[in-house]
Structure 1
Amino acid sequence: MKKKAGLFDLDGVIFDTEGQYTQFWSEEGKLLQESSDFSARIKGRTLKEILDRYFPDQKQADEVIKRLSRFEQEMVIEYIPGAREFILGLKEQGVKLAIVTSSNDLKMQNVYRLHPEVKKVFDVIITADKITRSKPDPECYLLAARELGMKKEECVVFEDSFSGLEAGRRAEMKVVGLATSNPAEKIADKADVVVPDFRGLSFTDILN
């Protein structure tokens, strides 16, 4: 069946922000006296899930939210190399586009402020506020396909995190792994195709 839709994770796939989030959550993990892989363990989780599990005290959770909000207002949000050109190319070809992210609407407002083209280019944007189960559960990708009016067999998922790659697989969609957050060899068995970034990439390359 012909692939007609591209479903993109946000951080580490469209925008080069994963390193910044890794640093932020590593610092938060130190406050909890968690191990050094705290940021890796919470990747792909919604903020609500992180707070419920690791910051059950409301006062502590409120402080984390304040720090995160301030951090996101100041963070640099730049495209992964080649991502903007690749996505605009798909749009011109008539491919339906969705963002599927564990970020909430508040974070997305900052994205729209810095990159207003995002709301115009993507047909559907699935955020943490629209789902009940985060990645690796496939709910978010299946919801995106439904909102696009596409069958799962018509969709290609673009992901970088282990939980996101698993979500795409469990949604029974073709999965492209971006080696932006993890080494290519670490995600090779979790994706149908692995690429370093979007430079020089075409949709035809992926499908073949």
Structure 2
Amino acid sequence: MTTKLVSCVILDLDGTLLNTDGVVDKVLKIVLSNYGKEWDGREALKIVGKTPFESAADVVQDYGLPCSTTEFISQISPLFYDQWCNIKELPGANRLIKHLKSHDVPMALASNSPRESIEAKLSYHDGWKSSFSVIIGGDEVRTGKPSPEMFLEAARRLNVEPSSCLVIEDSLPGITAGKAAEMEVVVVPSLRKQSHLYSAADMVISSLLDLQLEKWGLPPFEDWVEGTLPLDRWYIGGPIVKGFGRGSKALGIPTANLSPEGYSDLLAEHPAGVYFGWAGLSTRGVFKMVMSIGWNPYFNNKEKTIEPWLLHDFNEDFYGEELRLLIVGYIRPEANFPTLESLIAKIHEDRRVAERALDIPLYSSYKNDSYLRSSHE
């Protein structure tokens, strides 16, 4: 696959840089419950990437609400504004903005959201607004995405040819708009298990952590260390539960599984992929650990799971014991494999990468984190 070299980047906001999906779910659940309806997420595919008016119209029609689209918007808008302060940036978003800014790569922000809404969201993320040379809201053009008008206007204001722009999007309307503007398009699908729908993009990646800017002639990230990407550390813990039975049976790799119950927000926050760090068992000590988060496409999980592999040979099972994990870095995105053998080989390669990396002072110092040794309250 060949890609054009570009000189500037145009970014979407909701779902690309900011994790707005959870806020949308929360607000729609509240408002629909007032009508005796239950938001079940079935409209997620239809409304992702559309203008707020179009999204609201879809919900009103599909749920048979006894109100106009305008009335519905008047009900949900105040709730959304109350939530903007709670929206977290998606993994890799801050890293990407800082990187492009430090290398003087011109950036535009082009979103179907109204300009006022964009400004409100940006105000909670330090340094973001000033990083963009151009910001365009859906109410500043005649037609939003999937029309290319917004992207073409961004290129005009950046004073560049559309063909020299790289668009980074999360939705089908965004892809359609970017390609209609004759720009290069990378998509990070908001709907993770629907990636086959995004084939019109020039490249599909599972998260911004996997973006390789050098493929478009842009300055590459230089923060990878020994095949790993250092992350702001995060913690998770709970009793070890029985997994799918395949860790030891099919793979010969005994994972110490955690129940996903109670971790839905955390699972939604972190992209599917392979991570590593340290694992603490209160009665056994602290061990190196490599971990997958995701649906494990080879086995086609129905739900997103957390499957840590403690890199130590234990003589017995320890179901029910309290496991504490400290995640310090990222190795690769989740992938599908043609054969069980190729999956097993990749998992063992992940183990080697994690074991080697955890000997580096950058990561080894976290072995002494008090969280790993404290008993669960």
TM-score by length of 2: 0.48
Q: Which letter maps to 1:20?
A: V
Deviation at 1:93, TM superposition (A): 1.7
Tell me, in whole angstroms, the C-alpha distance in 2 between the residues paired with 1:60 and 1:136.
Answer: 20
Q: Which letter maps to 1:91?
A: K
Deviation at 1:80, TM superposition (A): 1.1
Query: Given the alignment, which residue of 96, 108, 111 partners 1:86?
Result: 96
Match of residue 117 from structure 2: 107
**1:96/1:148 contact within 8 Å kept:** yes
Match of residue 131 from structure 1: 141
Match of residue 67 from structure 1: 76
The residue matched to 2:123 in structure 1 has which SS? helix
CA RMSD of superposed structures (Å):
3.1
**1:86/1:202 contact within 8 Å kept:** no
Q: Does 1:47 align with 2:52?
A: yes
Tell me, in whole angstroms, the C-alpha distance in 2 between the residues paired with 1:188 and 1:128.
Answer: 22
Tell me, in whole angstroms, the C-alpha distance in 1 between the residues paired with 2:146 and 2:178.
Answer: 8
Deviation at 1:26, TM superposition (A): 6.7
**1:98/1:125 contact within 8 Å kept:** yes
Greater radius of gyration (CA): 2
Tell me, in whole angstroms, the C-alpha distance in 2 between the residues paired with 1:128 and 1:92.
Answer: 28
Mark the CA change 1:119 to 1:185 in structure 2 (over 3 Å): closer, same or farther: closer
Query: Given the alignment, which residue of 3, 8, 16 partners 2:6?
Result: 3
Match of residue 196 from structure 2: 186
Q: Say which structure is richer in strand.
A: 2
Match of residue 229 from structure 2: none
Q: Which letter maps to 2:157?
A: E
The residue matched to 1:183 in structure 2 has which SS? helix
Tell me, in whole angstroms, the C-alpha distance in 2 between the residues paired with 1:51 and 1:183.
Answer: 24
Deviation at 1:157, TM superposition (A): 0.5
Q: Does 1:15 align with 2:18?
A: yes
Tell me, in whole angstroms, the C-alpha distance in 2 between the residues paired with 1:197 and 1:135.
Answer: 22
Q: Number of matched residues?
A: 208
**Structure 1 residue runs without a partner (length 5+):** none
Deviates more, 1:37-46 or 1:75-84: 37-46
Mark the CA change 1:150 to 1:48 in structure 2 (over 3 Å): closer, same or farther: same
Q: Say which structure is richer in helix.
A: 1
Mark the CA change 1:185 to 1:144 in structure 2 (over 3 Å): closer, same or farther: same
Percent identical residues: 26
Q: Which letter maps to 1:194?
A: V
Deviation at 1:152, TM superposition (A): 0.9
**2:189/2:198 contact within 8 Å kept:** no
Q: Does 1:122 align with 2:122?
A: no
Q: Which letter maps to 1:10?
A: L
Q: Which letter maps to 2:109?
A: I
TM-score by length of 1: 0.83
Mark the CA change 1:174 to 1:25 in structure 2 (over 3 Å): closer, same or farther: farther
Deviation at 1:116, TM superposition (A): 4.2
Mark the CA change 1:182 to 1:135 in structure 2 (over 3 Å): closer, same or farther: farther
Mark the CA change 1:46 to 1:32 in structure 2 (over 3 Å): closer, same or farther: farther
Match of residue 95 from structure 1: 105
